[in-house]
Chains A and B, each alone.
Chain A
Amino acid sequence: MNGANEVYRGTHRGAEAPRSATRSSGGAVFLTLLGKECLELLRSFKLIWVPIVFAVLGIMQPVLSYYMPIIIEKAGNMPEGTVIEIPAPMGSQVLADTLSQFGVMGILILALACMGIVSGERNSGASALVLVKPVSYASYILSKWLSIMLLSWGSLLLGYGAAWYYTWLLIEYVDVVPFLLSFVLYGLWFSFVLTVTLLFSTALRSAAGAAFTSLGAAILLTVLAGLIPKYMAWSPGALTGLAYQAATSPGWLQMEPASWWAVITALIAIAALLAASVVLLKRAPARD
């Protein structure tokens, strides 16, 4: 013990003078936080099972479309000689269907995976130990947000890429441009919804509350955009419809001004939601 004691004092004296020089910048702190978030995703296996679920969902859609006529033929007790004519599906339609699968199952899984990202640490008190260190509240929130973005964009790319590849193998080749454009639009929608989840995870004690509030908001926005497209075309809720259009239209989608507004408001909303999360966290960094 005494030996260690001297070591401590020795380094203490040594470290005193060049102290500010050895302190690294806020960037290093941010990367440390981000590294911790990613490691947590890995250790909790979210980094593994979420992409796997997306890949399975993505592969399922083209495979089902391809085998559907055969399945119906085998399963149905059709009288001898009946000829069933099911038109071969369009490749682009299969991709749009895949997206709508992601819009239900995918977003549910992502919201469940991220719902406790702030509230969990705050309720346990683990966040108190991080936030008494010279760490900015914005880095804390942004590191969590970026880890969510990595998980969601990565999973979406994997799942949607798999869908595109299997569509090509089994049905037909779909151009890269509609594929990528619909991917980006859908990714933006995911980012928006999950940023809402992050905000509610900061605002609410309950993780499930955060997941269901944000999913509810997502459903509300999509329904509104579908019901009164004239008035809601600028809202982020219009992004899903836009992504389906992008997938099914050949080449570049001709975006109307209102549709551009949907993209812009989504980006602004994400920034505002993040700022609100930082403010909420600053107000009460930890609970007892």
Chain B
Amino acid sequence: MTAQLMEVKGLSKSFGTMKAVKSIDFSIQEGRCVALLGPNGAGKTTTIRMLTGLLAPTAGEVSFRSLAPGEDRRALIGYLPQTPAFHNWMSGMEYVVYAGRLCGLGVSEAKNRAKELLERVGLADAAKRKLGGYSGGMKQRLGLAQALVHQPKLLVMDEPVSALDPLGRREVLRLLKELKSETTVLFSTHVLHDAEELCDDVVIIRSGEVALQGSLASIRSQHRQPVIELKLDEDNTRGMDWARAFVQRTNSGEASYSWLSEAELRGNRLHLTAAHMDQARQALLEELARHSVPFSRLEVGYSSLEDLFMKVVGE
């Protein structure tokens, strides 16, 4: 299952002078679950709309390996938009059958498939109700059902869980966990936690550019850095003075410690990113003892993916 399904090369989009997506490259392997991760306005929706063919790119291309010449790429894709909109006068059942017919299913095939999918997304009881009366969460689940109706090779979802309450979110996440073993999945999110829970690969984008990409496991191991957090006694001015002086010394380059790569003071917490864990621990303890710094807690650990994400996205 390592065949490449889709490749994106130099994909760009400008709206007037505003460059929403700036030459993005990535590829999706068959059977993987990929998250397009980025903060609001990063260009996730724009990228996804170009992948689905709803938006013409300014430059670059999207290619599918398994696409026979002359075949429509849209036949391979199932798409769930950020806020799906339906024909409100249709019932849930009618809509999924309609979607199936549009994808080329026969009448009875479309009906069976619709029934099965509505059951699967938990809308069996609401199947006969008009879509105008569906709640946001129900619409999201119906959107999922209609996206799956033709068994797409690639399921593309734009923030599938962002608009849901915690319960609906857990429900949809569970559904997605099942789905990712059946088909290739690409979804966008601004929540790292969702990506971590579901995905094999992540593509982190920031203001229209790929900031970081790779498999979650490799990113985790490559970017893991030892960190030390020192909590100082707030009322004790000696400790705080030392900390301020220490940060200033390291940042101004007055004293460079080989074991330290970054120091930052947030309130009464001193955050140190170490270059080498054992050395750092040793050197810091000596430093603390020399100045007899009164601290209340010393924590040694490794940076989380969250720290990395915040760093990559926040820059």
Contacts and interface: CB of A to CB of B under 8 A. Distances in A.
Contacts of B257: none
B72 A134 contact: yes
11 contacts: A7-B116, A11-B151, A12-B151, A29-B104, A32-B98, A125-B84, A129-B79, A129-B99, A133-B102, A284-B55, A284-B56
A125 B102 CA distance: 17
B52 A23 contact: no
A4 B103 contact: no
A32 to B, nearest CB: 4
Interface residues of B, number: 39
Nearest to A15: B151
B104 A130 contact: no
Given A8-B116, A130-B102, 11 more contacts: A8-B120, A9-B182, A28-B104, A32-B101, A32-B102, A36-B87, A43-B89, A44-B89, A125-B81, A133-B150, A284-B56
A43 to B, nearest CB: 4
B300 interface: no
A134 B153 CA distance: 14
Contact of A4 (B81, B84, B99, B116): B116
Interface in A1-46: 1, 4-5, 7-9, 11-12, 15, 22-24, 28-29, 32-33, 36, 40, 43-44
Nearest to A43: B89
A286 B106 contact: no
Nearest to B101: A32
Nearest to A127: B85
B75 interface: yes
B77 interface: yes
Given A1-B178, A8-B116, A33-B102, A129 B146 contact: yes
Interface in B147-174: 150-151, 174
Chain A interface residue number, banded:
35 or more
Nearest to B116: A7
Contacts of B18: none
Contacts of A9: 182
A129 B74 CA distance: 11
B252 to A, nearest CB: 48
B119 interface: yes
A227 B150 CA distance: 57
Contacts of B89: 40, 43-44
B105 to A, nearest CB: 7
Interface of B: 45, 49, 52-56, 72, 74-75, 77, 79, 81, 83-87, 89, 98-99, 101-106, 109, 113, 116, 119-120, 143, 146, 150-151, 174, 178, 182
A135 interface: yes
A29 B151 contact: no
A255 interface: no
Given A5-B178, A28-B104, A132 B56 contact: no
Contacts of B85: 124-126, 128-129
Contacts of B55: 284
A131 interface: yes
A72 B119 CA distance: 69
A134 B53 CA distance: 11
A74 interface: no
B87 A133 contact: no
Given A40-B89, A285-B54, A134 B182 contact: no
Nearest to A135: B102
